Amino acid sequence: MGTEEDKRFGVWLRREMELRGYEVDGSRAGGRTRLAKQTGISPSVISRILIDDRVPEIKALRAIGEVFGYSLGDMLVHAGVATAKEIAPSARLGPLVPAPPDDPDVPSDIGSRPLWEQYVWRTPGTTTDERRMMIFLNYLVRDQLDDIDALLALKSEVDGIVNRRLRKGRGKVS
């Protein structure tokens, strides 16, 4: 019998197949053969996966993901085999370039800011408004709500940016 991850993947695959109309059990259980044909995986491998015997090799995982519309990483997360943190690409940022000396909008305390924020401030070819928007969105995504006052101030700035762009006709509201 396989590991706990193997079992989780088999349970997930069975559920996905059933949700998508692949008959897995019973007298009309042609779903295994159908999936095997669509993925190029042998029916016996599909059966072993479904009885919690093993997680398939990468090639088979990719084929299953393609048929069901999942990226490899998303599929592993949905199946409970991996966490989103394990799948997330690691940050591979280049060397930190100095802040432009003639940019008055770069905060004076740039060196004490989180590294990702330093990169945003030092991104060439971006406007101050674009930098502020990127920082605001990063804080939201990262759930870094340590300093709610700073986030509210950033939100106010972003609202101003959006309103100015809308007045100039460079943005759309849907």
pLDDT in tens, 9-33: 888 898 888 888 888 887 676 888 8
Confidence of residue 174 (pLDDT cuts 50, 70, 90): very low
pLDDT at 172 over 60: no
pLDDT at 40 over 90: yes
Euclidean distance between CA atoms 24 and 81, whole angstroms: 21
Cα dihedral 45/51/53/58 (nearest 10): 50
pTM higher than 0.85 for the full model?
no
| pLDDT digits 0-9 by tens, 71-117 | 888 888 888 888 877 777 654 555 556 555 566 777 777 777 777 78
Residue 63 DSSP one-character state: H
Residue-averaged pLDDT of the chain: 76
Euclidean distance between CA atoms 47 and 24, whole angstroms: 9
The angle formed by the CA atoms of residues 68, 19 and 37, to the nearest 5 degrees, is 45
Q: What domains, with CATH codes, occur in the chain?
A: 4-87 (1.10.260.40), 90-174 (no CATH)
Cα 95 to its chain centre, rounded Å, is: 25
Q: How many residues does the chain have?
A: 174
- Per-residue burial over 97-114, b = 16 or more CB atoms within 10 Å of its CB, e = otherwise: eebeeeeeebeeeeeeee
Euclidean distance between CA atoms 131 and 129, whole angstroms: 5
Residue 23 DSSP one-character state: -
